[in-house]
Amino acid sequence: MISSVFLGTPASSVAALEATLRVSDVRLVVTQPDRPRGRSKTPRPSAVKEAALDLSLRVADPSNRAELLGAVAEAAPFDVGVVVAFGMILSPSVLAIPRVGFVNVHFSLLPRWRGAAPVERAILAGDESTGVTLMEMDSGLDTGPVISSREIPIEPEQTSKALLDRLTSLGVALLEEDMPRHASGALVSRSQRADGATYARKIESAEAHIPIDSPASTVLRWIRAFNPRPGAFGILDDQRFKVWDATLTSVSDLEPGELRIVGESLCLGLGEGALELLEVQPAGGRRMVAMDWARGRHGRPEHLH
């Protein structure tokens, strides 16, 4: 059996750790240091650290790149490194340690959507499909050779969370099937295409501000892309008003930003067309059915900015 070191941090990486353990001898699990969490701000281990300890695996949680190099070097020799949402850049010195290098599970069809937020950017762009790529890591940003990939359609009205869940399952299967074949030399990687590269920059909270002068189809993508984080929002009564779910409607006589009850629906006018809001969250409140919120406001005229 091949030997490996696994690098990952969030809950979405745990299934990949378990898959790596099924097909290799995991010598070390590397994750981010314990961070303050919850209202008490008590330091808590990452989801990957908790899972690794439960599996009786050796864990390192370096706080900087020098400590990372030391931890990975101490685990050598080993065949392959596996990285799934680790959260720290690997230096050339670290990349050179495994016999066949590091592999990464990336949630797009490279070279499209290199970078931190490929799932959200694919939805925002209106892509009809996306996928998962298993790639060799190099010193660039998601520029390494492709080992294998799988494509799936982006379903209508699918949120980032729902799409990420599908891609995570697909990535785990790809890792379990193809990483050992790559490490043994049975699966040869290929260079990424020179054309079609796009960059999926990190999501900033301000980006989730609903563009009310845009067409309804565009705004619907906004709502889907920013669910669950950070949540698409408009400004109502000088505070953020989040929209978690909506659907297209045939209502056509609303001004951009106008909120109005039409029959049994709460509708939002946009630059072209309108949306029926299904789930909202007022500032300081909980997520709730949109019409329940509207009835509580006694149906008075509202305007989202």
What's the confidence (pLDDT) of residue 36?
85
Does 17 share its domain with 152?
A: yes
Confidence at residue 302, expressed as pLDDT on a 0 to 100 scale: 87
pLDDT at residue number 25: 98
Predicted local distance difference test score (pLDDT) of residue 177 = 97
Q: How far apart are CA 134 and CA 172, in angstroms?
A: 10
What is the per-residue pLDDT for 156? 87
CA separation, residue 177 to residues 119, 128, 135 (Å)? 23, 26, 13
Q: Are residues 56 and 18 in the same domain?
A: yes
pLDDT of 255: 96
Whether residues 171 and 232 share a domain: the answer is no
State how far the Cα of 222 lies from the Cα of 210, in Å rounded to an integer: 7
Q: Which two tokens stand for residue 177?
A: 């099937």
Range of the domain at 23: 3-200
> DSSP readout, 117-174?
-HHHHHHHTT-SEEEEEEEE--SSSS-SPEEEEEEEE--TT--HHHHHHHHHHHHHHH
What pLDDT does residue 41 have? 79
Helix (H) or strand (E) holding 43: strand 42-44
Indicate the pairing of strand 146-153 with strand 129-136.
Answer: antiparallel
Four-point Cα dihedral 220, 224, 228, 233, nearest 10:
-20
| End-of-domain residue from the set 200, 225, 255 | 200
**How far apart are alpha carbons 5 and 86 in whole angstroms?**
12
pLDDT of residue 42: 86
User: SS3 breakdown of the chain: % helix, strand, coil, rounded to 5?
Assistant: 30, 30, 40
155 plus 244 within the same structural domain:
no
* 232, 248: one domain: yes
pLDDT at position 39 is: 74
**Domain end (from 168, 200, 232):** 200
Averaged in consecutive runs of 10 residues, what is the pLDDT profile of the chain (305 residues)?
96 95 98 86 93 98 97 98 94 97 97 96 97 96 96 95 96 97 94 94 96 97 97 96 97 95 95 98 96 86 87
Examine the domain organization and report whether 182 and 261 are in the same domain: no
Identify the CATH number of the domain in which residue 146 sits: 3.40.50.170
Residues 156 and 20 in one domain: yes
What CATH number has the domain bearing residue 259? Answer: 3.10.25.10
Same domain? For 292 and 230 the reply is: yes
Check whether residue 98 and residue 228 sit in a common domain: no
217 and 191 in a common domain: no
Asked if residue 90 and residue 52 are part of one domain, the reply reads yes
d(C-alpha 32, C-alpha 7), whole Å? 9
Amino acid 20: pLDDT: 98
Residues 144 and 34 in one domain: yes
Contacts of 84 (CB under 8 A, 6+ apart): 6, 7, 8, 12, 13, 16, 17, 104, 105, 171, 175
Q: Which of 177, 200, 223 is the last residue of a domain?
A: 200
Q: How many domains does the chain have?
A: 2
The Cα 205–Cα 210 span in angstroms is 11
Task: State residue 38's pLDDT score.
Answer: 72
| Cβ atoms within 10 Å, residue 305 | 13
